[in-house]
Amino acid sequence: MNSSAVRVLVVVALWLGALPAFAQDAPDPATTEQGQGQDESAPASDATPTSPTDPAAVIAQWGPAPAVGPDADQAVAGRWFRKQNDERAKWGVPTATRDPYLDWAAENLMRSTLGQPLLPQPAGVVKPAVIATSPRSDQTVLGGAEPEFWTVSDDLWAAWREGSLAQPMAEAMALWEADHPGEPYYSLDGYLRLFKLRQTPRFDPYRVIGVAGRVNANNTPMAVPGAAQGKLEQIAPGSVAVYQPVIYPDNLVAVVGYDPWVTSDGTLRP
């Protein structure tokens, strides 16, 4: 693979990893162009259009927004996990499953980090056999911009994220197609090249994972930018009025992973 192709792979990998924090700050090109060409005598359009959609219908289709507290803690962990599996599926590499025992281990890793009392092992939750046979494992508490929490439903958050990827992915695919006509961007070989460059998510190698989250309710939530609100409305008309979304930044996700499908040098495991 030539150097330009490697650069395309790396650029897309960085886009996928940094999306929520980066995309929320990016102006909507359509909104910007409309604003520049607008007649000064015409009334300005509202950045967050209203919709007469029945709130109950929005909730019925998209689900409720998790309340800040234990529900939001579970949601930010679940959204992190969902994002990882969504990206793995695009590349055609093994996805992960969540294990109750490792979820408990991740929760106690979080509690240990925060100086909170540890939880006893839940009744009926047993250690998975894969722990004994896994050649390596990993665990950490992730922080920073990645685990943002938007106060919308889980499904709407996932739909917004996928929609926000469309433009950068189209641009990256065009560059890739120009260099490699007829060759798919998403492939196992392409993924393994990124893996060897250490441009894939840290827990991608693991097939069995536990996750725990904490939404930092002590932070003052931020308003969802107008461009992002407009995109939410495009996906789910009436959703901005129903959810009145805000963003909680600087949250934590504890992750414990076992059973890698790929070794550290890029060799596949059964």
β-pair partners for 256: 139, 210
Which tens digits make up the pLDDT trace of 200-246?
999 999 999 999 999 999 989 999 999 999 999 999 999 999 999 99
Strands (E), 4-85: none
HSE, side-chain direction, 13 A CA sphere, residue 265: 1
HSE, side-chain direction, 13 A CA sphere, residue 118: 9
Q: What is the mean pLDDT of each run of 10 residues along the chain (270 residues)?
A: 46 42 35 36 41 82 96 97 95 97 98 97 96 96 83 96 84 88 90 95 97 94 95 95 96 97 95
Strands (E), 11-164: 97-98, 137-142, 149-150
Residues ≥6 apart with Cβ < 8 Å to 46? none
Q: Nearest-CA neighbor of 106 among 139, 62, 66, 64?
A: 139
Decide: 145 and 20 in contact? Cβ < 8 Å: yes
Q: Is the pTM of this model over 0.85?
A: no
As a whole number of angstroms, the distance between CA 244 and CA 238 comes to: 10
Identify the pLDDT of residue 53. Answer: 74
As a whole number of angstroms, the distance between CA 103 and CA 74 comes to: 11
Per-domain boundaries in the chain: 3-33+53-260
Cα–Cα–Cα angle for 74, 80, 86, nearest 5°? Answer: 130
